[in-house]
Amino acid sequence: MLPEPRNNRRRLGQDLQPVGDYAGIQPYYRVCEDVQAVHHQDKCGPEAFQSGDWWWSQGRIRFLNGKAFIGLSAAQLLIPYLWGGLVLVGGGMMLLHYASKVELPDELKSLLGLGVVLGWIALSMFLIIKTLPWVMSAAAFLLKPFEKGLSRITDRSLKAGESYFSRETGQV
């Protein structure tokens, strides 16, 4: 259990984190475990550290900046957003069209339209949640023939977003 703070912390993230004495975790031992794991890997299979896929070496640390994932994230989100928009807007427009064909006074027709819209929003959210895995599976199946080309494009964009921190010079 964490002790009560001396002063009131009003902003998120200012409270004490459960690390160190409070959680019974010593960061030093975690670092030692990580170092032991790296030394063990270096003894068992040192060629893993020499491959281009490894994210760090003795001379540099490789990391990705945010630019690498902008296009990839947009492409991944395109299908779910299109499906959600189609179900929500397209289905709602269709239901409103059919509701407007009913012969009722204008006041009741407005209430019917409001009820149809609110009901459709709730139903469409349920439908989107239930059908989105099927839609994504179908999209993955349709993209299967283009997997090699998409893999090359993804590798190229990840390569463009790579940066290196040189341990020798301290430069990025």
Q: How far apart are CA 136 and CA 113, in angstroms?
A: 32
pLDDT, one tens digit per residue, over 98-128 is 888 888 888 888 898 899 999 999 999 999 9
pLDDT tens per residue across span 36-68: 887 887 787 766 656 665 656 666 677 766 665
Please say if the pLDDT value at position 91 is more than 70.
yes
Q: Which of 27, 18, 28 is nearest to 3 (CA)?
A: 18
Gyration radius of the chain over CA positions: 27
Torsions phi, psi of 21, nearest 5?
Answer: -60, -35
pLDDT at 134 over 60: yes
Percent of the chain with pLDDT strictly greater than 70: 65
Residue 69 confidence (pLDDT) above 70 = no
pLDDT(139) > 80? yes
The answer, yes or no, to whether residue 16 has pLDDT greater than 80, is no
Instruction: Check whether 20 has a pLDDT greater than 60.
Output: no
| DSSP conformation class of 97 | H
Q: What is the pLDDT of residue 136?
A: 92
**Per-residue pLDDT at 102:** 86
Q: What's the pTM?
A: 0.53
- pLDDT tens-digit map of 21-41: 556 666 677 778 878 887 887
Enumerate residues 6+ apart whose C-beta is below 8 A from 161: 64, 65, 66, 67, 68, 69
Q: Residue 143: pLDDT above 70?
A: yes
